[in-house]
Amino acid sequence: MASMLNRCFNFANNILLNTARLLGPTINNAVKVDQPVRHNWADWRMMKDVKRRNLLVKHGAERLRLKAIKKNDLLPQEILEIGFKQMDALPRDSSIIRIRNRCAVTSRSRGVVKRWRLSRIVWRHLADYNKLSGVQRAMW
């Protein structure tokens, strides 16, 4: 009986050690301060825009309903005031107005070609070197 319990504890101990070994490097890399943080965004502006897009997905339907209540002039004043308060409680970044199209490479906000999500400068550079599908340089 004691040998069976020892085997079970050893088995559980081995599982814990193996998972600690598997998870160890990821935890240690996250703790290190001297290495720069890696992410997929060009800069902080792009990170803010992604945060705003996520908030829009989360609160968009509720914001649309509250906006319809706010614009309705047939409803009683008490219901309109409740709608105003609930609308004010939502985060400002969840509004569709605050989202801006940005270049996926440089995070430039102006001159973005919507189909490729690239600024005109990056788009032209990639088109010159045949890196974009469906784009051919004009020749005459």
Q: Would you list the DSSP string of the chain?
A: -HHHHHHHHHHHHHHHHHHHHHHHHHHHHHH-SSSPP--S-SSHHHHHHHHHHHHHHHHHHHHHHHHHHHH-SSS-HHHHHHHHHHHHHS-GGGSGGG-----TTT---SSEETTTTEEHHHHHHHHHTT-STT------
Q: What is the CATH number of domain 54-98?
A: 1.10.287.1480
pLDDT-derived band at 17 (thresholds 50, 70, 90) equals low
pLDDT digits (tens, 9 = 90+) for 47-86: 899 899 999 999 999 999 999 998 988 999 999 999 999 9
- CATH class of residue range 101-140: few secondary structures
DSSP lists the bridge partners of residue 112 as 119
pLDDT-derived band at 36 (thresholds 50, 70, 90) equals low
Q: What is the pLDDT of residue 43?
A: 84
Tokens in use for 51? 């945060």
Q: Hey, where are the domains in the chain?
A: 1-30, 54-98, 101-140
pLDDT-derived band at 28 (thresholds 50, 70, 90) equals very low
